[in-house]
Amino acid sequence: MNLSKEQLLSMYRQMWTIRIFEDEMAVAYMEGKSPAFDIGSGPVPGEMHLAAGQEPVAVGTCMHLHKEDTVVGTHRPHHFAIAKGVNINKLAAEIFGKETGLGKGKGGHMHLFDVEHKFSCSGIVGASFPPACGAALAAKKMGKDWVAVAFAGEGAANQGAFHEALNLAALWKLPMIFIIEDNSWAISVAKQLSTAIPDNSQRAAGYGIPGVRIDENDVLAVYEVVGEAVRRARRGEGPSLIEVKTDRLYGHFQGDPELYRPKDEVPTLKANDPIARLGAQLHEQGIATQSELDDARAAAKADVDAAFLFARQSPYPAPERALEDVFV
């Protein structure tokens, strides 16, 4: 693999940024929600879908992307946003509902828009694919070598929009990468109870495009496979479909009782933590010293702490600002 030490350490640090962001968000989310849990209470109200455990797919993919490349994420979007380079102060502020947030507090955690870094997401399952097609189409029409990446969960692969977009992207040879995060669960419904075939990447055959399944929650494996797809897209050879096995360490949403989930599942996943594995790998191979790894983690924590402080100290929008921004 052609990754420099700096790149590897950057991936490691970024995964920590995501993990710490999500873990601190889980704690902040619970503020004001006890003794009686009320989803609408506390400094971070509403639904909260956290991506701890799913860092490899976001980081391994976005290492290949430039600012001009488009990423469209899902209802569980923080890891994609951070990996794509969205300012985490503004990200945190949006989630805290503050005026300084990405959308001035109007969008919230599922509806993040960063025009500068060409990142967006949606709370609607399967909604990432069509707009990513459009971004890829625009790049093609404008003669740019930009690519578009649509992320979605494995549950979204059963939406009509997924199949329509695959056909469109293949038909028009769009510079696009479809990436399915397979965390095994569509809320409470296990993949084998919702999907007719075990491997969504096989569905690529129906559209005559390459399909690859990555069976491990490993950032370097993601990096390698997505690299080929991105290069292919930049060469004008069309889209690819990739499914990545990944792990959802939290519930579907914070407060999810997860009665549907086997009790030993999460501990097993935690024992195979993708960040710890990368750290051990870098250390064992003599690529990074323990203190370099520790520094990367500490730097990530400092970034997240600063972002949360910024978010907490920022003002709420004035109520009547609710009436603005329907139209430009």
Closest CB to another protein among residues 271, 318: 318
318 part of the interface to another protein, by CB under 8 A: yes
Interface with another protein (CB under 8 A), residue from 115, 271, 323, 328:
323
**What's the count of helices (H) and strands (E) in the chain, helices before strands?**
10, 9
164 contributes a contact to another protein by CB under 8 A? no
- 5-30 helix and 55-62 helix, angle to the nearest 10 degrees: 140
- CA–CA separation, 13 vs 48, rounded Å? 23
- Percent helix, strand, coil in the chain, to 5, is 45, 10, 45
DSSP strands (E only) in the chain: 70-73, 113-114, 119-121, 148-153, 176-182, 185-186, 189-190, 211-214, 240-245
Taking a C-beta distance cutoff of 8 angstroms, is the pair 249, 270 a contact?
A: yes
Asked if 271 is part of the footprint of another protein (rule: CB under 8 A), the reply reads no
Residues 175-214 that bind another protein (CB under 8 A): 186-189, 193-195
The piece of 62-70, 95-103, 220-228, 273-281 that touches another protein (CB under 8 A) is 95-103
Name the residue nearer to another protein (CB basis): 122 or 246: 122
Contacts to another protein from residues 231-260, by CB under 8 A: 255, 259-260
Single residue of 10, 87, 158, 167 touching another protein by CB under 8 A: 158
Does the protein bind another protein through residue 77 (CB under 8 A)?
no
Run of H or E including 250: none
Contact 236, 175 (CB under 8 A): yes
Smallest distance from the beta carbon of 5 to another protein, in angstroms?
A: 41
227 vs 317 by CB, closer to another protein? 317
Closest distance to another protein from the beta carbon of 45 (Å)? 4
Q: Report in angstroms how near the CB of residue 149 gets to another protein at its nearest.
A: 20
| Long-range contacts, 5-10 (Cβ 8 Å, 24+) | 5/287, 5/288, 7/63, 8/278, 8/282, 8/287, 8/288, 9/282, 9/288, 9/292, 9/293, 9/296, 10/63
- Cβ nearer to another protein, comparing 187 with 205: 187
Binding site for another protein (CB under 8 A): 37-41, 45-47, 94, 97-98, 103, 105-111, 122-126, 155-156, 158-161, 186-189, 193-195, 255, 259-260, 316-323, 326
